[in-house]
Amino acid sequence: MAKPFKSYEDLLIFLQNDKDLIIEDFDAARHILSKTSYFSLISGYKDTFKNPTTGKYIDGTTFYDIYRLYQFDNELRSIFLKYILIAEHSVKSSLAYHFSDTYGEDQQEYLSLSHYMVTGSTQKKIQKLISIFQYQLKRNNEYAYINHYKSKHHNVPLWIMIQVLTLGQVSHMFDYLKASVPIKVCNDFNQIGRKDMHSFLSIMTKHRNVCAHGDRFFNYRTKDSITDTVIHKKLHIPQVSGRYQMGKNDLFSEVIILKYLLDKEDFRNFYYELKNCLKRQAPGEDILTLMGFPDNWTSILRMKC
């Protein structure tokens, strides 16, 4: 049965009387709810402040505490998305360049199964990827540059096509291509291994999607993990049963990914934007732990991959 509608006033009274949340200014709290929605704010961020045994808020927790975390998460998402998009563009550019340099600019090349590692387990996935290419080539595309190349050149090279692909689709293409092109792409990014790049693109895709959809971000955990890196080792991140406890499937894993995929200047800019956000918002050690940030995380700026 659906929950009955409650006014902002009813919701605030419920939080105060039933859940022991301190609401210092009802008018301000009502205004905040009208901008953010109860679901996005309270349902999204309440667990950090609740006693898991009683289901009530920890003594002294205020409505503004929850709103501050909500604001912090919004700023965090904006910073990460900005630099994930820069890294995404770099990976797309590298993949399109090396593919075209190796196989040529004809659109039939990226439509050809001969350039992919076709096996029993990958064939359908590769055919699905190629069908996405074909769909973009056949449709009356909303992207003017696709239509331009189709009408004027009767050919859409990969460096044009790749602009309309999602990061997830680019990740799949990287995974399925025969070795020569992916190896060249990896060499453009600190000469990482193909398995490393596979894990980086997989995790970065998930983080990108969370950012784009405006979901809770600071304590988001992916089901899969990035590979162990020299960064984990240099930061002396603790291990349990041989597994690093931070920087694998948490938000700090994305910091490590960006260390590898951004150039030095872009990573430096990202680092200082993130550091200033943490300094300004002062989320507290418990929040940093939920984000997977080790105490010495700032050392990453000057580390070599």
33: Cα separation from own chain's centroid: 27
Task: Let me know the angle formed at the C-alpha of 80 by 143 and 222, rounded to the nearest 5 degrees.
Answer: 95
Give pLDDT, residue 55.
87
List the end-to-end C-alpha distance of the chain, in Å, as a whole number.
54
Give pLDDT, residue 283.
81
How far apart, in whole angstroms, are the C-alpha atoms of residue 207 and residue 66? 22
How far apart, in whole angstroms, are the C-alpha atoms of residue 125 and residue 118? 9
Q: Hey, which residues does 116 pair with through a beta bridge?
A: 177
Contact 117, 178 (CB under 8 A): yes
Secondary structure E strands in 78-176:
none
Give pLDDT, residue 133.
95
How far apart, in whole angstroms, are the C-alpha atoms of residue 56 and residue 46? 10
Task: Let me know the angle formed at the C-alpha of 23 by 12 and 51, rounded to the nearest 5 degrees.
Answer: 85
Secondary structure E strands in the chain:
239-240, 243-244
pLDDT of the chain along its 305 residues, tens only? Answer: 667 889 999 999 999 999 999 999 999 999 999 999 999 999 999 999 999 898 899 999 999 999 999 999 999 999 999 999 999 999 999 999 999 999 999 999 999 999 999 999 999 999 999 999 999 998 877 888 998 999 899 999 999 999 999 999 999 999 999 999 999 999 999 999 999 999 999 999 999 999 999 999 999 999 999 999 999 999 999 999 999 999 999 999 999 999 999 999 999 999 999 999 999 888 888 999 999 999 999 999 999 98
- The residues spanned by each domain of the chain are 8-61, 72-302
Q: Report CA Rg, the chain.
A: 23
Contact 11, 38 (CB under 8 A): yes
106: Cα separation from own chain's centroid: 32
Give pLDDT, residue 139.
81
Give pLDDT, residue 295.
95
Task: State the residue for tokens 């076709």.
Answer: 118
Q: Where are the alpha helices (DSSP H) in 236-281?
A: 251-261, 264-281
Give pLDDT, residue 2.
67
- Under 8 Å CB-to-CB from 65, ≥6 apart: which residues? 49
